[in-house]
A and B are shown apart, each in its own frame.
Chain A
Amino acid sequence: MTEIDIALTARGRITALMLRHYYLYRGSWPRIIELAYWPLMQIFLWGFISQFFQQHSTLIAQAGGLLLAGVMLWDVMFRGQLGVSVSFLEELWARNLGQMFVSPLRPIELAAALMSVSLMRTLIGLIPSAIVAWLLYEFAITSIGPGLIVFFFMLLAFSWAVGLAVCGLLLRYGLGAESLAWVTVFALAPISAVYYPISILPEWLQWVALATPSAHVFEGMRAVMLENRFDWGHCLWALGLNVVALSLAVWTFVSAFNAARRDGRLLQSGE
């Protein structure tokens, strides 16, 4: 028997999948540019809108970066979800899912790799936007303080939950459900209260909003920027809801994987 030296570890397999996406992006400049393009366009657009509002609104004048911080943090949510869903779509487009799973790879490891790739993609999009906001509009996202790290990871975790749930639907319905990858997160935008407080919403919708981690994050962001205080209540709610959301999303993804194995969709996943 041909002797080869192997070490079967989950970390090794997750790294392998991250390497697969690194090679994909390294060989495709349009993909890399696209990662930063939309966040930059958002910052340009909302940056000028903010400047206009600063001259006409007392509230915005008090905290000129409120809209820009909202834009950037919402982009964390949006890019984070796309990072998971589109990376999974890459495997479907390449008809690679069957190949990957004739190996010791486990579905939970694929999920971990998708989340890791999502983190990288989100940072690639966020960092240029943050630099442009600082250079053009004199707004440093870091002015939020240490809470920024909490907000970033809370939104990212929720985006992963949404992304994994979408992957589960893609496993169930195939590429016919591809558009879900692009549109799902927008359904959460109105109730996430990115640019306005939850109190603006009708009362029944406020309860729905408070069931999402993202609404708590954006309320927390406004507390920091307008009242200069870190709201632990919103932070803990976001944490708890994220634990629930991620648990449900992982369950959905693994269940969809098992259903795909039952129904024979792993080998036909590109169709």
Chain B
Amino acid sequence: MSNAETNIPVEAIGLGKKFGEVVAVEAIDFSVERGRVIGLLGGNGAGKTTTMSMLMGLLTPTSGSARIFGKDASQRDAGALARINFSSPYVEMPGRLTVAENLEVYARLFGLRRPKDRIAKLARDLDLESFLHRATRTLSAGQKSRSALAKSLINAPELLLLDEPTASLDPDTADWVRRYLETYQAETGAAILLASHNMPEVERLCDDVLMMRAGKIVDRGAPKDLIARHGRQNMEEVFLDIARGGSAAPAGDVA
């Protein structure tokens, strides 16, 4: 699928975004390498979604650059965009179309030659078969979540951006989604950038974490290292420390 296997999935260099006088993201640097799961953490308004939007080419930065597989994200390179995908509870698929119809449209947008084969595989893997031909708007939250996950995997992305993938899900469905993500990541070696407010989820899935506050990366490292560095019991306590303006010790690049 790829003709540039050596390219790093994400490189953000001095990446920043201002809306008028409001600084949403301020000159952040980080990279996400192949096979790594990186958490993007921070309170509401910390700049997580803005950062992800810039990586996906939906938002143009006001300073610095974001490179996706070596291509400037703001240029929306078709080859690079074909290798990424995302999921967020804040965007939806057209509700009047069935799950299968939606997946086919997205498969074709990504240029899949045999969309029905891919949809059939994802329907088996994600247990969508019982509601594959139902209108998306009629699905339960859990079913919608699995459908959205299928959409985000339709092109077998090498870089998966997930914005709160388990928000509003019951614990059982949330656990099921996490297990599937672990399996996908292990089988494909994809890079995953995960924005989440769920700290146990972050501890479970992420190799490294970027802690954001007021548009800046204020700390970074493996969950265990962060917990140790802050002298806390778990990521929840580390998160509260940082979100409330407590200690933060910048560290080296996540890779």
Q: Which residues of A contact B (CB under 8 A)?
A: 1-9, 12-13, 15-17, 19-20, 23-24, 27-28, 90-91, 94-96, 98-106, 258, 261-264, 266-267
Contacts and interface: CB of A to CB of B under 8 A. Distances in A.
A12 B58 contact: no
Nearest to A258: B60
Question: Which of A98, A100, A267 is most buried by chain B, counting CB atoms within 10 A of its CB?
Answer: A267
Nearest to A20: B105
B132 to A, nearest CB: 14
Contact of A267 (B58, B60, B190): B58
Contacts of B11: none
B50 interface: yes
A5 to B, nearest CB: 4
B244 interface: no
Contacts of B112: 4-6
B109 A1 contact: no
A264 B92 contact: no
A263 to B, nearest CB: 7
B90 A267 contact: yes
A27 B98 CA distance: 9
B145 interface: no
Nearest to A1: B188
Contacts of A1: 1-2, 156, 158, 188-190
Given A1-B1, A20-B97, A104 B111 contact: yes
A5 B113 CA distance: 6
B118 interface: yes
Contact of A95 (B78, B91, B111): B91
Contact of B110 (A20, A90, A103): A103
A8 B82 CA distance: 8
Contacts of A91: 94
B93 interface: yes
A5 B84 CA distance: 15
Given A95-B92, A266-B58, A267-B49, A23 B105 contact: yes
Given A101-B58, A261-B57, 18 more contacts: A4-B155, A6-B1, A7-B111, A9-B111, A17-B105, A19-B105, A19-B108, A23-B98, A94-B92, A94-B93, A95-B91, A96-B92, A100-B109, A103-B110, A104-B79, A104-B81, A263-B19, A264-B58
A101 to B, nearest CB: 6
Contacts, number: 138
12 contacts: A2-B156, A2-B188, A4-B1, A4-B155, A16-B108, A19-B105, A23-B101, A99-B106, A102-B58, A261-B58, A264-B19, A264-B58
B207 to A, nearest CB: 18
The 3 A-B pairs with the shortest beta carbon distances in the complex, nearest first, are: A16-B108, A104-B78, A2-B156
Interface residues of B, number: 50
A13 B58 contact: no
Contacts of B190: 1
B111 to A, nearest CB: 4
B78 A27 contact: no
A13 B189 CA distance: 27
A227 to B, nearest CB: 49
Interface in B74-103: 76, 78-79, 81-82, 84-86, 90-98, 101
Nearest to A94: B94
B224 to A, nearest CB: 28
Contacts of A5: 112-114
A19 B105 CA distance: 7
Contacts of B151: 99
Contacts of A101: 56-58, 76
Contacts of B174: none
A15 B90 contact: no
Contact of B111 (A12, A27, A28): A12
A13 B111 CA distance: 7
